[in-house]
Amino acid sequence: MAMLHIVNKSPFERNAFESCLNHASAGDSILMIEDAAVGAITKTAFAAKVEAALQDKSVYVLSGDLAARGLSEDRIISGVETVDYAGFVDLTVSNETTQSWL
């Protein structure tokens, strides 16, 4: 039973994102929205943890929130996929359960 984990806080501000990565199971999906979008950027202090998660989980970032923070899509970690709000809805549909890491 796959779960969608929604993270909305920067990993450099709170530990919610790290808690999420520690709890998510193989086959789950993780979606970065709002301030968590900075977690999608490559070569940061947090990037290795996201790359490790990509081994057995799908990781997504909301494209609008990335753009709103002046971050271009060519800076995101290889393997992280961008989605728009329609893609966000699809993720909530294809995963039976959702956890918001507030």
Which residues, including other chains, have CB under 8 Å from residue 59's CB and lie 6 or more apart? 29, 30, 31, 32, 40, 50, 53, 77, 79, 80, 81
State yes or no: residue 26 binds other proteins (CB under 8 A): no
Q: What is the DSSP letter of 47?
A: H
State yes or no: residue 25 binds other proteins (CB under 8 A): no
What are the helix and strand counts (H, E) for the chain?
4, 5
State yes or no: residue 1 binds other proteins (CB under 8 A): yes
Nearer to other proteins, 51 or 87 (CB): 87
How long is the chain? 102
Nearer to other proteins, 6 or 61 (CB): 6
State yes or no: residue 90 binds other proteins (CB under 8 A): yes
Instruction: Decide: 64 and 88 in contact? Cβ < 8 Å.
Output: no
What's the closest the beta carbon of residue 58 comes to other proteins, in angstroms? 11
Nearer to other proteins, 18 or 34 (CB): 34
Which residues in this chain contact other proteins in the complex, by CB under 8 A?
A: 1-2, 6, 8, 33-35, 64-65, 84-86, 88-90, 92-94, 96, 98, 100, 102
